[in-house]
Amino acid sequence: MTMKIAIIGAGSSYTPEIIEELVKLKERLPVTRLSFMDPDEKRLEIMAGFCRRFMEHLGHKIEIEATTDRRRAIEGSRFVLTQIRVGGNAQRVLDEKIPLKYGVIGQETTGPGGMLKALRTIPAILEIAREVEAIAPEAWIINYTNPTGLVAEAVNKYTKVTITGLCAGAYFPRNAVMHALGVPESSIYYDYFGLNHLNYGYNIRVDGQLLNDEEWEKIAHVATWGSVNAELIRLMRVIPSPYLQYFFHHARCVSQARAKELTRGETVQKIEEEVFRAYADPAQHTKPEALSKRGGGGYSEIALSVMEAVYNNQDRIIIINTPNRGAVTGMPEEAVLEIPCLVNASGIFPLRQPVVPRVMWGLISSVKTYEQYTVEAAVTGSRATALLALMSHPLVGEYELAVPLLDEMLTANKAFLPQFFG
């Protein structure tokens, strides 16, 4: 039996992580062919060459083809992994810098920067999804592309393709408890609810027992990891995503961002230059050390868990960005949430979540409103809808601020937003 996987955006520096996980799961996920697709021929060839060497070093062999033809890559694939960045890191830098001029955090998935990334990305992802729908309708899209929650909302609303929107942040509460209490992963259980990069772990239990005050004290200090204040974590009695620092400590984050010589996007550009020099070296056959500076890894573990569950029709509980479908009372049925789901060959089934703590209600509802307006604006090119999206976002929310901020950001992205500029 043959199994093909397509990787759209294979020139990403994260692609070797997928190779590594595929080798670990070679007995349970017998992939015979990988189709690397990327519009950047230079990055594509460098990555394909390195991954062939890396695969050989790991003692496994899967055919790797490199193509700039997306339809060729998708055709015959069982899974289509998407990890694209429309506009590259150059646009990310603008997403970071422009909002700071207005006193708003500039970040690639949160606030105005995340909105513009979504406006650039959603039309491109919908093109891919419609090609999958036409030529590989049984294939699942496994999405790494950020903002993954908005991407999943768009694909679920406008196509019939099965998509899993993934984020390694789903493991954050687990990792915090493991580090703080020194307990094994298998002993930890928690409920989980929110949106991508705006979520909480709650009802946290170790060996079936809810955490006591002493345990929360230890976890609060670990779970902050330089982001959300430890005292606030103790007060809320939930483990928040580190991205919530942009809401809970916005002024601090803006001040810190303005004080830095380089934005994160500019830093990443320098790291990527170093990483790709290593990838291009014919003598390089292991992941370069510079890759550890890139951050944002860990997706491949979840992605391969999804593929393994589907391929082997094995029930697996995985946190996915998927439509609510009644899992959380008070949220729209079609709204994409980041929640635990049962996954197998039959599909994705959101699990009913217990009563959600009150501390989560307001912020998640506001940002969900922003997300739904943003998806609509990305598809229609309506400035009015985009303005409503920005007005709905808790970090903006002021008309006199939103109008000039939106105009400047749209103009800075004109080459990637034809839907707004005819």
pLDDT tens-digit readout, 359-391: 899 999 999 999 999 999 999 999 999 999 999
Amino acid at the residue 422: G
Count of beta carbons in the 10 Å neighbourhood of residue 138 = 9
Residue numbers in the chain where pLDDT is lower than 70: 295-297
Among 186, 9, 197, smallest CA distance to 86 is for: 9
* Cα dihedral across residues 88, 91, 97, 103: positive or negative: negative
Count of beta carbons in the 10 Å neighbourhood of residue 325 = 16
pLDDT given for residue 290 in this prediction = 84
- Count of H helices and E strands in the chain? 17, 13
Cα–Cα distance between 71 and 356 in angstroms, integer?
43
Spell out the residues 6+ positions from residue 78 whose beta carbon is closer than 8 angstroms to its own: 3, 4, 5, 138, 139, 140, 307, 311
Burial grade of 412 (CB within 10 A; 0-12, 13-18, 19 or more):
middle
Cα–Cα distance between 390 and 410 in angstroms, integer?
12
Radius of gyration, alpha carbons of the chain:
21
Q: Return the structure tokens found at 121.
A: 């990305």
pLDDT given for residue 296 in this prediction = 60
The residue behind tokens 């694909």 is: 155
pLDDT given for residue 328 in this prediction = 94
Count of beta carbons in the 10 Å neighbourhood of residue 205 = 14
pLDDT given for residue 2 in this prediction = 82
Among 170, 218, 160, 174, smallest CA distance to 194 is for: 170
Cα–Cα distance between 323 and 332 in angstroms, integer?
9
- Put residue 191 in one of left, alpha, beta given phi > 0 → left and psi -120 to 50 → alpha: beta
Cα–Cα distance between 136 and 30 in angstroms, integer?
19
In terms of residues, how long is the chain? 422
pLDDT given for residue 304 in this prediction = 94
CA 67 to chain centre: 25
Q: Which of 243, 279, 299, 370 is catalytic?
A: 243
pLDDT given for residue 295 in this prediction = 67
Cα–Cα distance between 276 and 43 in angstroms, integer?
8
Cα–Cα distance between 194 and 364 in angstroms, integer?
6
Count of beta carbons in the 10 Å neighbourhood of residue 268 = 21
pLDDT given for residue 297 in this prediction = 63
Indicate if 202 belongs to the active site.
Answer: no
Q: Return the structure tokens found at 419.
A: 């839907």
